[in-house]
Chains A and B, each alone.
Chain A
Amino acid sequence: MSNAESNKEYWRWTESRYTNPDLNWKDVDIISAGVDVGSVSTQAVIMVDGKIYCYSSMRTGSDSPDSANNAMDWALDGTGLSLDKIQYIVGTGYGRVNVSFAKRAITEIACHARGANFIYGPEIRTVLDMGGQDCKAIRCDQRGKVTAFLMNDKCAAGTGRGMEVFADLLQVHINDVGKMSLEVEEEPEPVSSTCVVFAKSEAVGLLRKGWPKEKVLAAYCSAMAHRVVTLLLRLGIEEKFAITGGIAKNIGVVKRIEDELKLKAPEPSIDPQLAGAIGAALFAKALVEKERKKS
């Protein structure tokens, strides 16, 4: 581990948990949960009758089953609710098959569309999810059902991991990268290499040339924005358009995507990193209802 990583952890974002004080799990019909085990972060969302009751969001550890358990335990913490009272749990995300207590695993594509529909409303037709190790472009209908998708989890360019590499290289905290990248008077040429390995060498060259950090970050954020825009264009964009995932919090990338598309993404009322877990919890609720209809 490099010194910057072990001493300062520039890439580390804040973990969080929440309980809705206005809801009570005791007098509800369906309690459902979704756990999204991403490569970088894990979220557990518990819903009562389709409303968010509590959630947790934390960094995924080296072990997926443990991460799922930890996130679930933390979400339940202090609520008096226990795992056995949850009627249906759906696992999603990269580590979805490792959620031991989930009844079913559903791909993150379907869950993200459903979650974005919940967070941003039924007018959402295109969702861009930028996660820690992947980037997804999804088209959906008014019910949040997927009509087309494209996912890139092969290459680090255009993912949170790529941004972490840059935060670490420039020794800027990951939370500050976006804001700092907007502190340039004039937008520089984007970094020309797509590959993060080559982009990093390119950035080292730019720093050596005397570029300030914010200019280098601007060049990287705009390269990243352009890259995801090309993926979106391959799929076709229909309004309204929303951005979810960790990078949705990076204003430097979001603003540049909006500028290039000439579209504005709505401000989320709920942490967009929860979209996958929310979608999973909603599918869990739908699956309880489906089972009931059958019997």
Chain B
Amino acid sequence: MITAGIDCGSKNTKVCIVKEGVVLSTASVLSGFDQEESAEQALKSALEKAGIKREEIEHITATGAGMEAIKFSHNTITTITADARGTYSIFPSARTIIDIGAEEGLVIKIDDKGKVKDFGINEKCAAGAGAFIEAMSRALEVDIENMGELSLKSAKQIPINAQCTIFAESEVVSLIHQKTLKEDIIRAVHDAIADRNTSMVRQIGIEKDVALIGGVANNIGFVDSMNRNLGFGLLVPKDGVAPEYVSALGAALVAQDKIGGY
């Protein structure tokens, strides 16, 4: 039995293809103007990687902000359900899930069976999401992929006072003018967004283990800031499925559950 999960994020559209609970392939494309078209492309690419035909997929479940646009999906589920299902399959010990995407942050609490108990959303403000780091990487003229590694070189803690992304941009520019080391500024950027997200986790209540998923989890500097702020280590998906695909994986697994499990 083969199923696919499509996560229509605000920035990227991700597909995960699963066979009997095992990931066959993943693929991601930038979410374009036409979300369904982006989903088609991502699916096509994932099918090629898996070496299977479209007809072999029995069920497609869509999730994420743009899921309603995916007319070819068989059903849709919320990001919360998808995150919980995907994370529980990777880390059965996780009781708290933090999902930080390009435009929003989510905190979900699950029980020992993976059932959602509570959740909180940080949305509609770029300051708590990946968009914040992205804007700062542009101001710093550092590739977003290099932000994490660079910040780990920093040994100095400096505050970024602005809460708003737009204002923080100006603050970062003036830090550059003051000849502040780039790695120190980047660490400050990660600390700032980590601070906002950990306070959201504390509001929901921390229950270990805590997993971190979503595209921003690829940033090792941000993970380091989160770990330091929380005082313990977060579980971050490494082998098999990358953090940004956990939601798509969750959708594919829900699709399997739907047509009879495996």
By a beta-carbon cutoff of 8 Å, the part of chain A in contact with chain B is 62, 133, 154-156, 161-162, 165, 193-198, 205, 208-209
Q: Do B124 and A195 have beta carbons less than 8 Å apart?
A: yes
**Which residues of B lie under 8 Å from residue A162 when comparing CB positions?**
166
Question: Nearest CB to that of A134 among chain B residues?
Answer: B167
Establish whether residues A195 and B167, one from each chain, have CB atoms under 8 Å apart when the complex forms.
Answer: no
Query: With an 8 A cutoff between CB atoms, is B163 at the interface?
Result: yes
Would A161 and B174 be within 8 Å (CB), given that A155-B125, A195-B125, A195-B126 are in contact?
no
**Bound-state Cα–Cα, A155 to B168, Å:** 10
**Interface class of chain B by DSSP:** helix
Q: Is the CB of A197 within 8 A of B135?
A: yes
Are the CB atoms of A205 and B33 closer together than 8 Å? yes
B33, A208: Cβ atoms closer than 8 Å = yes
| 149-180 of chain B: CB within 8 A of chain A | 163-167, 170, 174, 177
Q: A196 contacts B166, CB within 8 Å?
A: yes
Q: B242 interface residue, CB < 8 Å from A?
A: no
Question: Which chain B residues lie closer than 8 Å to A62 at the CB level?
Answer: 174, 177
Contact residues in A for B124 (Cβ distance below 8 Å): 193-195, 198
Residue of A nearest to B131 (CB): A197
Q: Name which of B124, B164, B165 has the most chain A CB atoms within 10 A of its CB.
A: B164
B103 at the binding interface (Cβ < 8 Å)? yes
- Once the chains bind, are A161 and B163 in contact (CB under 8 Å)? no
Least Cβ–Cβ distance between B128 and chain A, in angstroms: 10
Q: A-contacting residues of B (Cβ < 8 Å)?
A: 33, 103, 124-126, 131, 135, 163-167, 170, 174, 177
* B160 vs chain A, min Cβ distance (A): 13
Min CB gap A136→B, angstroms: 16
In chain A, what residue has the closest Cβ to B165?
A: A197
Contacts of B131 in A (CB 8 A): 197-198
Q: Within 8 Å CB of B177, what residues of A?
A: 62
Closest chain A residue to B134 by CB distance?
A: A197
With contacts A197-B135, A198-B103 taken as known, whether A165 is within 8 angstroms of B126 at the C-beta atoms is: no
B174 touches A156 (CB 8 A): no
Whether the pair B33, A155 counts as a contact (CB closer than 8 A) is no
- The answer to whether B167 touches A133 (Cβ under 8 A) is yes
Whether B103 and A156, one on each chain, are in contact in the complex, defined by CB atoms closer than 8 angstroms, is no
Whether B163 contacts A197 by the Cβ 8 Å rule is: no
B103 close to A155 (CB less than 8 A): no
- Return A83 CB to nearest CB of chain B, in Å: 28
Distance of A117 Cα from B125 Cα, bound (Å) = 35
* Neighbouring B residues of A193 by C-beta, 8 Å: 124
Q: How far is the CB of A11 from chain B (nearest CB, A)?
A: 12
Name A205's closest neighbour in chain B (CB-CB). B33
**Residue numbers in B under 8 Å from A133 (CB-CB):** 167
Instruction: Give me 9 other A-B pairs in contact (C-beta within 8 A), A195-B124, A195-B165, A198-B124 excluded.
Output: A133-B167, A161-B167, A162-B166, A194-B124, A195-B125, A197-B131, A197-B165, A198-B103, A209-B33
Most interface-central of A62, A162, A208, A209 (chain B CB within 10 A): A62
Q: Are A156 and B164 in contact (CB under 8 A)?
A: yes
Bound CA–CA A62/B124 (angstroms): 30
27 contacts between A and B (CB under 8 A): A62-B174, A133-B167, A154-B163, A154-B164, A155-B125, A155-B163, A155-B164, A156-B164, A156-B166, A156-B167, A161-B166, A161-B170, A193-B124, A195-B124, A195-B125, A195-B165, A196-B164, A196-B165, A197-B131, A197-B135, A197-B166, A198-B103, A198-B124, A198-B126, A198-B131, A205-B33, A209-B33
- Chain B neighbourhood of A196, CB < 8 A: 164-166
Nearest CB to that of B168 among chain A residues?
Answer: A156
Q: In the assembled complex, which residues on chain B have CB atoms less than 8 Å from the CB atom of A154?
A: 163-164
Complex CA gap A196/B126 in Å reads 8
Shortest CB–CB separation between residue B122 and chain A, in angstroms?
Answer: 12
- Specify which chain A residues have a CB less than 8 angstroms from the CB of B125 in the assembled complex: 155, 194-195
User: A224 vs B128: C-alpha distance in the bound complex, in angstroms?
Assistant: 22
CA distance A156 to B170 in the complex (A): 11
Query: Within the assembled complex, what's the spacing in Å between the Cα atoms of A197 and B126?
Result: 6
Q: Cα distance A165–B164 when bound, in Å?
A: 14
Bound form: Cα–Cα A162–B33 in Å? 24
**A277 CB, min distance to chain B CBs, angstroms:** 23
Point out the residues of chain B lying under 8 angstroms from A208, CB to CB.
33
Closest Cβ of chain B to A202, distance in Å, is: 11
